[in-house]
Chain A
Amino acid sequence: MLLAVVQPWPEGKQPADGELMERVLRRDASALETLYDRYGRPVYSLVLRIAQQPASAEEIVQDVFLQLWKSADRFQASRGALAPWLFTMARNRALDFLRLKGEKQRRREDSQEDDFPEPAIARPDAEGAIDLSRRAEKVRALMSSLPDGQRKAIELAYFEGMSHSEIAASMGEPLGTVKSWIRGGLLRLRESLKEARS
C-alpha cells in the first residue's frame, strides 16, 4: 500500500508543489524530501540571513519543515503557492527568534558596520526549481539596482522585522523618506515579478 503511494516520477518531470503537498498529506516522506531539496536552501539562506547564527538557523529550518509535515492540512493549494507560505512561516519563526534572543537590539547598536558573515557560496541545483532560480535572479537584480538607502530600508523591514518608524530611527532618515523608499521599492518588486511571469 505504501509502495502505491511512493511512486517515482518520470525522469525529467518534477512534480508540482501542490502535488507534493497532497502526497505529504498522505504521509509520503519522499514528497517532503523533494520539497526539502527544492526549498531547503532558500529557506535556510533566509533564516540564516535573519538569525545570523548557523546553529539557530538549522534549528529553525528543521522546525519549519517538521511543521510543514505536521500541518500539511493547513496548506491549501487553491489558496496560493507553497513558496510564499513557506517563506512567510520561516521568516516569522526567524524574526521570533531574533526577538526572543534580544539579538535585534544588539544588532541595531552594532549596525554601523555590516558584520554579516559572508556565507559559503552554494552550488546551483542540478535540476528543478527553475522558476525559483529565475525569480531569485530577478529579485537580486532589483535589489542591487536600488540606491543604497532604499535597499537598506527594505532589508531592515524584511530581514529584521522593523516598522517604518523603527527604520527611520535606525537610519536617521525622515519617516516620509523611508515610507517613500519602501513603497517605491515594493512597487518595483511587484512590476519586476510581473515581467518575470509574462
Chain B
Amino acid sequence: MECEQLAAFYEEYALGVLEGEERAEMEAHLARGCERCTAGATEARRVVSNLALAAPEAQLPSGLRGKIMEPVRLSAAARAGAPPVNTAAKREVFPAWAWIAAAALALITGYAIRQMGNQNSQLAALQKQMKLAIAQNVALQNQLDESRMVASVMLSPDSTALKLMPKDKNMPMVHAYLHPHMGVAITADQMPAMPSARTLQLWFMPKQGAPMSVAIFHPDANGVIALVAPVKMPVAEIAALAVTEEPAGGSPQPTSAPAWMAAMN
C-alpha cells in the first residue's frame, strides 16, 4: 500500500484494532522510516489518546500521592547529595580552620562564645548532609536489592538459563534466567543507548495465544540491563522469550520483529 492508502488507517493503527495484512503493511511501512506516515501515526496516537478522557471521572485515592511522592522525594534528595565533593580540598581547608578555631577557643572565651553560633551552623549543615547521605543510602540499598534479586534468580538451581540471540549480529547477547516463582532475570551489558522515544519490551511467547508483555526497560547510562520481572504464566506454557523495540511506554502487543529471541528447550 502507498502512503495515501495507509493514511486511512493511521487512527485505527494507533487504537490497536488493525490486524492481519493491514497491520503488517502499516508496520512494515513505518519500519522503513517513512517520514510522512510516521508523522501521521504520531498525530493519530495523539488524537486517539484523547479517548482516555471518555473514562468516567474517579476520585483519586487519598494515599496515592504519598505513595508516589515519597520515593520521588527520597530519590531527589539522594540526587541532591550526589554531586562529587572535592574531599582533598576539604581536608586541606578544614584542619587550618579547625586549628584556628581551637586556638581562638583556648585563648579567648568570648570569642569562643561567638564561635558557637558558627558551630551551630556547621552542626546544622552536618545534620543536613547526614540526612542526604541516609537518603542516598536508601536509594543505593534499593539498587542493591534489585541486584541481589537478579543474582538470586541467576544462581538458583531451579532457574533455566537462556541466551537471547540478537537479530543484529553487532548487538550484544541478552541473558535470561527463568525461575518459576522468583521471576525472570534479564541481564546484558554493552547495550547501545536507545532513542528517547523507544523502549525495549520483554515478551513471553506462549505455545498458544498472543505474546504476553513481561517488562519494559532501557539500558542504563553504562549500557547495562539488570532487572527481575514476575513470571505470571506457567513456565511449561512458554515457547520462547523475545525482546522487541517499541514506542516509549510499551505496546499491548509487539509491533516489530523480535530484536532478541530464545526458544525454550
Q: Is the CB of B46 within 8 A of A80?
A: yes
What are the residues of chain B within 8 A of A120 when measuring CB–CB? 58-59
Q: Is the CB of A162 within 8 A of B47?
A: no
Q: Is the CB of A183 within 8 A of B57?
A: no
Q: Is the CB of B11 within 8 A of A88?
A: no
CA distance A159 to B49 in the complex (A): 11
Provided the pairs A27-B80, A162-B17 are in contact, do residues A186 and B47 lie with their beta carbons within 8 angstroms?
yes
Q: Is the CB of A74 within 8 A of B68?
A: no
B138 within 8 A of A: no
What is the interface size of chain B, counting residues whose CB is below 8 A from a CB of the partner? 53
Q: Is the CB of A164 within 8 A of B197?
A: no
Provided the pairs A2-B80, A186-B47, A190-B47 are in contact, do residues A140 and B68 lie with their beta carbons within 8 angstroms?
no
Q: Which of B53, B67, B76 contacts A42 (CB 8 A)?
A: B53
Q: Is the CB of A84 within 8 A of B72?
A: no
Q: Is the CB of A27 within 8 A of B79?
A: yes
What are the residues of chain A within 8 A of B196 when measuring CB–CB? 73-76, 79
What is the interface size of chain A, counting residues whose CB is below 8 A from a CB of the partner? 80
Q: Is the CB of A76 within 8 A of B15?
A: no
CA distance A42 to B80 in the complex (A): 31
A193 within 8 A of B: yes
What are the residues of chain A within 8 A of B12 when measuring CB–CB? 164, 179, 182-183, 186
What are the residues of chain B within 8 A of A138 when measuring CB–CB? 50
Provided the pairs A121-B57, A164-B17 are in contact, do residues A87 and B65 lie with their beta carbons within 8 angstroms?
no
What are the residues of chain A within 8 A of B8 when measuring CB–CB? 183
* Binary contact readout A61-86 vs B (1 if CB under 8 angstroms, 0 otherwise): 11001110101011110011101110
- Enumerate the 3 nearest inter-chain pairs by beta-carbon distance, A residue then B residue, closest first: A89-B249, A84-B49, A49-B55
Sample of 14 A–B contacts (CB below 8 Å) = A33-B65, A45-B56, A62-B64, A66-B71, A74-B196, A74-B218, A76-B197, A81-B46, A85-B249, A92-B250, A96-B250, A157-B15, A157-B16, A186-B15
Q: Which residues of B contact A (CB under 8 A)?
A: 8, 11-12, 15-19, 42, 45-61, 64-65, 67-69, 71-73, 75-76, 79-80, 196-197, 199, 210, 212-213, 216, 218, 232, 247-252
Q: Which residues of A contact B (CB under 8 A)?
A: 1-2, 27-29, 32-33, 36, 40-46, 48-49, 54, 58, 61-62, 65-67, 69, 71, 73-76, 79-81, 83-85, 87-93, 95-96, 99-100, 116, 118-123, 132, 135-136, 138-140, 143, 154-155, 157-159, 161-165, 167, 179, 182-183, 186-187, 189-190, 193
